[in-house]
Chain A
Amino acid sequence: MSDDGADAAPPPDRAHAEWLDALAAGEGFALVCPRGHGSLPPRRVCPECGSSDLSREALDETGTVETYSVVHVPSPRFADDAPYVSAVVDFGPTRLTGVLRGGDETDGPPAVDTGDAVAADVGERATDGERLVVFRPAGGD
């Protein structure tokens, strides 16, 4: 039995790391079952219907912000990132949850609203350099 202390780094997960690699390369994907339910790896079966027939489907290049929050009180992993914008974004076959960043990181959290168009990428936490899903404003308004 290990000491599951708050400072312990989360365990590595290869499927998640490879999914982040793909997202960073502009090849973000979801796992989709024949009935169209999208989910993120690692998956053996569809979490909605149990189908084991999962295939990769590309995420939409541009997503829509469905909800967001400006987080002022962070967990220790995000101590130097706060305040930051946490957001849930619809990318077609699935939604992604991540941090919305503007063009200039020194300007504080960017203005955001539901319905905004954003693109997904992989960035680093300011606090410890760990990778995370980030969103950046897409073209248009």
Chain B
Amino acid sequence: MTDVRVAGVGLTPFGSHPERTGRDLFAEAALRAFEDAAVDRADVEELNYGNFMGALAEHQGHQAPLMAEAAGVRCPATRYESACASAGVAVREAVRTVAAGDADVVLAGGMERMTNLPTDEVTEGLAIAADDLFEARAGVTFPGAYALMATAYFDAYGGTRADLAHVASKNHANAVPNEYAQYRKEVSVDEALDAPPVAEPLHLYDACPITDGASALVLVSEEYAAEHDLDAPVAVTGTGQGTDRMALGDREHLARTPAADAAADAAYADAGVEPGDVDVAEVHDCFTIAEVLALESLGLFEPGEGIAAAREGVTTADGDLPVNLSGGLKAKGHPVGATGGSQIAELTRLLRGDHPNSGHVSDAEVGVTHNAGGTVASAVVHVLEVAE
């Protein structure tokens, strides 16, 4: 087993790109990643690419060879699909490939185009990540599913819409200085509370936006980094994945996410760290309640205690454990198939010290990313550490 280094990261600005194809978005992210990495693209041995709904959004299947062309690489290229965790699993397989010694250089990331569809078609597209027979046909939407989890959480542990509004307000504040973020504006707790309902108890500012964007990472072996004298101080030291029953109603507990528990346990064990070692986290806050569930699955808070973390200032930029300093999916945006890669890109920048919010975590050595698909039937967790 070898150490896996993040040699370079690349993102497009997240937001609305109505006149650009997916291939152009991924090309931009890959170009930035190669520039950041100073790695020869001819050395890339595999492309692992995440995408969820390209067949719906762009009438384009078989996207991996297309994206290999866009990135200017000729190597085995594979598309990974695990709903909103598509890039997470793509990156995870890249990490495993490099760690196992099967390749020295892998390009991983993802892309999603969403804003070219009307909102109702995006809602329908996202709903296909649920069980079609027993959830989507029965009226479950993507926000509706997380709303069901929020109601169950409040019922089991307590908590209020105001607690969730603090999560939204925190993440919007974090996005303000981030040049890649979709919504660089502050949202007050009162504004979040007063927004129209989407699926009660979730209102507009509890939900992430609809986003176009792409992410790319150049992952290399420690040996390759040394041989080529790369500036790659951040290592991916742990990876884990979990799977749960597809339908929310089939889970033992409606306000917990065991797939993420399993992913976190595996990633921590792989890295040889404990939850208490974590200094900073990027988690999958597609809805405010999702951040709460993520913090609890990651072992950073006990079940029932994550709800107060933002309100009490523990997870704010100046808190003891900053969460979603990028702005999170909530304010940075959520191009579904790109998100798992962008979380690692943002955490790498935070740990390297070249993120606009790095000053909040200048002593951080251990970070964690949490990427979830559907109502967390799929979850991927990665541990990143400053290796030098």
Contact = CB atoms under 8 A, between A and B. Distances in A.
Interface of A: 1, 3-6, 10, 13, 16, 39-40, 47, 66-79, 81, 84, 86-88, 94-99, 114, 130, 132-133
14 contacts: A6-B121, A13-B133, A67-B149, A68-B148, A69-B148, A70-B199, A72-B196, A73-B198, A75-B120, A76-B124, A86-B141, A88-B248, A96-B138, A114-B152
A79 B247 contact: no
A79 B250 contact: no
Contact of B124 (A6, A69, A72, A114): A6
Interface residues of B, number: 44
A32 to B, nearest CB: 14
Given A74-B123, A81-B139, A4 B197 contact: no
Nearest to B122: A6
A71 B144 contact: yes
Contacts of A95: 249-250
B123 A97 contact: no
B245 interface: yes
A94 B141 CA distance: 21
B229 interface: no
Contact of A88 (B117, B201, B254): B254
A16 B134 CA distance: 9
Contacts of A132: 137-139
Contacts of A3: 59
SS class of chain B's interface: helix, strand, loop or mixed? Answer: helix
B202 to A, nearest CB: 8
Contact of B140 (A1, A13, A73, A97): A97
Contacts of B136: 10, 75, 77
Interface of B: 55-56, 59, 61, 117, 119-121, 123-125, 127, 132-141, 143-144, 147-152, 155, 196-202, 245, 247-250, 254
B124 A75 contact: yes
B152 A67 contact: yes
A51 to B, nearest CB: 16
B121 A70 contact: no
Contacts of B140: 86, 97
A23 to B, nearest CB: 12
Contacts of A71: 139, 141, 143-144, 147, 199-200
B214 to A, nearest CB: 22
Given A71-B147, A74-B120, A97-B138, 4 more contacts: A68-B148, A70-B200, A73-B143, A88-B249
B65 to A, nearest CB: 15
A39 B131 CA distance: 13
A39 B148 contact: no
Contacts of A98: 138-139
Task: Give the 6 A-B residue pairs with the shortest CB-CB distance, closest first.
Answer: A69-B147, A67-B152, A95-B249, A70-B200, A75-B124, A88-B249
